[in-house]
Amino acid sequence: MPKYVAIREIVEDKVPVGALELAGWIRTHRQSKRVSFIELSDGTSVSNLQLVVDPQLPGYADVAPKLATGTSIKVSGELVVSPAKGQKYEFQVKALELLGEADPESYPLQKKGHTLEFLRENLHLRPRTATMGAVLRVRSAAAFAVHRYFTERGFYYLNTPIIGTSDCEGAGEMFRVSTFDPENPPRVNGKIDFSQDFFKEPASLTVSGQLEGEICAMGLSKIYTFGPTFRAENSNTTRHLAEFWMIEPEMAFYELADNIDLAQDFVQDVMRQVLKSSASELEFLASQEWVEPGHLENLHKVSESTFSCMDYTDAIKVLESSGKTFEYPVSWGIDLQSEHERFLTDEYVKGPVTVVNYPKDIKAFYMRLNEDGKTVRAMDVLVPRLGEIIGGSQREERYDVLLEKIRAMGLDEQSYWWYLELRKFGTVPHAGFGLGFERLLMYMTGMQNIRDVMPFPRFPGFAKF
């Protein structure tokens, strides 16, 4: 393995001063007669390392004109404590090798700032920017924090299928999976004959791993999934992707109250872990012009204080008596729209809020019916600026009630035979939720568009790179 030292290790004081080797990309190169300075980035830290080069260094004069922004180099030399203000260390170069030039005439990422829109069209270069570098490191740290949270609490990490043959939940429009020639699929009586397709029936990409997660929880007690999900909903918003990552814990013997507690504890623990492990990244991102002042302090506060929790019915009352005119009128029975959610989080609670016990008609068939016969044990965790980041529920574990629900909603009970059998044999109360990983990342990084927290976002009209 190469023995290059990561700049992050240096910045975090994990490397003793002395001889070492570095490799990275040039951010800036300033030449003068007596000394030259190169700001080097290797994508491991928000900080660059300052390289100090004696212009007399053998070979330097030849390559110096090529050491432009974006050029990759490797260097060996000496890490020393910097005499200059504003940096702890600097690096005295003893040998420098140019790896790859970046012609200033054509390299798109010059020193000046780039708009996030511009970077979205240059996803192949985007990870080299300070902003995206920070976001992607936070993303990695958050994924680790998720696995750590659940693993330390006795949850098993399981993978549910990405391809399926039934839209079990009806959670959204699905992407089809087929090996048919789209120009000429086999037909019987004019209809496409899926019995000749790869899976012998219509198949699609998963919108959620929940139902399979329930199967596993009915055997292992506590499980979680963390995988990609796909929704072909044509929603060109700043909060929706066609491909996003979802974390879905599912727990046997948990009821709604336990589920609410877990969701809060989980979000807060991940926040605290990331606030610690990615402190410099979050600080850097919070200082960007598009982030509201006080963002970081607020995250710290949220990670420590109890989330509000309110009944859907009370939320409706709050909205009705708010004196606000909403675009979408409020009355008991409506699905909360983004404007309603934002009123509750941004203006009423001024923080995250868990809304529970929604009307049964606006929620999925598998949610447990309450004694009132009108509401189900659903819970959504809403956060300021974004609205929903978590959707979950206690599941209906009573066979008869579930069957009745499936029929009433006009779903095909045949295709749910196995889901029903879970209730026929050794059924137990259970609950779970789904957290949109990118929504959590938006919340923490302060990024305003979900496309900027996913390395390769997919959305209507775009699946490039």
**What does 244 interact with, of Mn ion, ligand ATP, none (CB < 5 to 8 A by kind)?**
ligand ATP
Taking the least distance from each CB to ligand ATP, the nearer of 392 and 429 is: 392
CB 236 within 8 A of CB 454: no
Question: Quick one: which of 8, 27, 231, 363 contacts ligand ATP (CB under 6 A)?
Answer: 231
- Measured CA to CA, the distance from residue 383 to residue 443 in angstroms comes to 8
d(CA 396, CA 370): 10
Q: Mask of contacts with ligand ATP, 249-268, x by CB under 6 A?
A: --------------------
Return the number of the residue (25 or 443) whose C-beta is nearest ligand ATP: 443
Residue 402 three-state SS: helix
Strands 187-188 and 191-192, by their bridges, are: antiparallel
State the nearest-atom distance from the C-beta of 462 to ligand ATP, in Å: 14
Query: How long, in residues, is the chain?
Result: 465
CB of 69 to ligand ATP, least distance (A): 34
Distance of CA 302 to the CA centre of its chain: 18
Residue 171 binding: pick among Mn ion, ligand ATP, none (C-beta 5-8 Å cut-off by kind): ligand ATP
Q: Quick one: which of 133, 249, 429, 434 contacts ligand ATP (CB under 6 A)? A: 434
* Cα dihedral across residues 340, 341, 347, 353: positive or negative: positive
Q: One symbol per residue from 377 to 406: x for binding Mn ion (CB under 5 A), - otherwise; what is it?
A: --------------x---------------
Contact 451, 137 (CB under 8 A): no
Shortest distance, CB of residue 232 to Mn ion, whole angstroms? 17
Is 436 a binding residue for ligand ATP by CB under 6 A? The answer is yes
> Could you identify the residue written with the tokens 């919070």?
286
User: Binding ligand ATP by CB under 6 A: which of 11, 109, 135, 241?
Assistant: 241
- Torsion of the alpha carbons at 142, 300, 386 and 251, rounded to the nearest 10: 50
Which of 93, 285, 390, 447 forms a contact with ligand ATP (CB under 6 A)? Answer: 390
Q: Based on CB atoms, which residue is closest to Mn ion, 48 or 259?
A: 259
- Nearest by Cα to 245 from 453, 465, 438: 438
Rounded to whole angstroms, the maximal C-alpha distance in the chain is 85
User: Which of Mn ion, ligand ATP, none does 436 bind, CB closer than 5 to 8 A by kind?
Assistant: ligand ATP
Minimum Å gap between C-beta 391 and Mn ion is 3
> DSSP label at 318?
H
Which residues contact ligand ATP by CB under 6 A? 171, 231, 240-241, 244, 246, 388-391, 434, 436, 438-439, 450
